[in-house]
Amino acid sequence: MNFYALINRENKYSFSPLMAASKGRIKPLGGERPKAGDAVLLSFMSPDWKRAWRELKELPRGTIKVAGGAHPSGLPLHALDMGFDYAFCGEGEEQIVSLLDFLEGKAEPPPCLWSRDFKGSPCRGVEIEKFPPFEEHLPIPIEITRGCPFLCSYCQTPRLFGRRMRHRSAENIAFWVGKLVARGIRDIRFITPNGLGYGGRGGAQPEKVLALLRLLKERYPEARLYFGSFPSEFRPEHITLPLLKALRPLLANRRIIFGAQSGSPEVLRALRRGHSVEDVIRATENSIKASFRPEVDFIFGLPFDDENQNLRLMKKLAEMGARIHAHYFLPLPSTHLALYRPRPLSSAFLGEVERLTGSGQLFGRWKRQRELSEELYRLNLSYSASHIGKNDERYEEENNCGTPAS
């Protein structure tokens, strides 16, 4: 029996560490075509579920099809209805070998596996330092932290990975940076939900962040470190001018990414963002003073948003020198806003957005996301009874996968 991973640009960050944890048992599905009895693993997020469904239809009859990733973790029954034989829910490194053994008939199903015959129980998170961050033939940014203590109501991260931040040690990170440098990879990037929170429990940890980056720069002077840009963005309330000035000589990036999401204080509180509008303005000022170009995230179409306050803040930040990175609200499974309908945008708001876009002050794939948003809302409604977990903040402390829509 062969095990294949159907890898694309959107899911390679998920598959690379799983392939490493499988100790070579999973191969990328390239020119080789699977046969009946082989197993094919697909990992996908909610915006990509139709692409996964099309790829699923192209697999030969008789192959065993296993879904994993954020969307099957939030809506495992939808994954089964798509045509998958199994849906794996949550973090996979610790259970991937058990999954492969089960598919070969050598073991019981891992606890997080769903099928038509049985339902898995919510999984617990892993300690990421125990596992390689990537498979060496599929290098990706190094995940230095997993889990997020903030409970932004639109975000899956604390529901899938829990609220306890789990970090790699500086020495472990340096070891894996060395692996990349030895392969001739000089541009080093990191995966973390909260770049300036490295080493802590949620608050800013400037000394630990600087110590890590200085260690890497000293040990690998040829490496170009990217931190504070995708996928290691900062939180606005953590961005101070002294810290940015200390970071600048250590980093190759000249852009800093952080989220505003809304220009309304009331909406920020409803989103449970944990920062203020003033924090966003201050972070923008500090970034520019430290010679970084800030790129500030906004979410359009939130069900309770205030377009006027959004426009006011976006224009202010753009005049200061920031670029606006626009997104459209996607009601993701198992988030607290999963069953909230996206709000249509007014023609006046759209006109102002087009003007900002034309001047180069706003960019993003928000139009494509708007097309997906209503579709995801209806999908969540259809499967609202199948969301897994408990609607309890304490539940997310346990690093469990999934909470119900409510």
Residue 187 DSSP code: E
Bond preceding residue 231 cis, omega within 30 of 0? yes
Domain regions of the chain by residue span? 3-114, 141-397
Q: What is the mean pLDDT of residues 232-259?
A: 98
**Is the pLDDT at 290 greater than 90, yes or no?**
yes
At 85-123, the pLDDT tens digits run 999 998 999 999 999 999 999 999 999 999 999 988 777
What pLDDT score does 393 carry?
Answer: 55
Token digits for 41?
């693993």
What pLDDT score does 386 carry?
Answer: 57
What pLDDT score does 211 carry?
Answer: 98
What pLDDT score does 123 carry?
Answer: 73
How sure is the predictor about 47, in pLDDT bands with cuts at 50, 70 and 90?
Answer: very high
Residue in 16, 106, 4, 22 with CA at minimum distance from that of residue 63: 4
Angle, CA of 232, 238 and 242, to the nearest 5°: 105
Q: Which residues pair with 138 in a beta bridge?
A: 135
**Is the pLDDT at 397 greater than 60, yes or no?**
no
**Is the pLDDT at 376 greater than 80, yes or no?**
yes
The highest-level CATH class for domain 3-114 is alpha beta
What pLDDT score does 43 carry?
Answer: 97
> Average per-residue pLDDT in the chain?
93
At 8-26, the pLDDT tens digits run 999 999 999 999 999 999 9
Are 285 and 320 within 8 A, CB to CB? yes
Instruction: Report the CATH number of the 141-397 domain.
Output: 3.20.20.70
- Percent over 90 (pLDDT), the chain: 87
Which residue's structure tokens are 């033939």? 137
Q: SS3 of 5, please?
A: strand
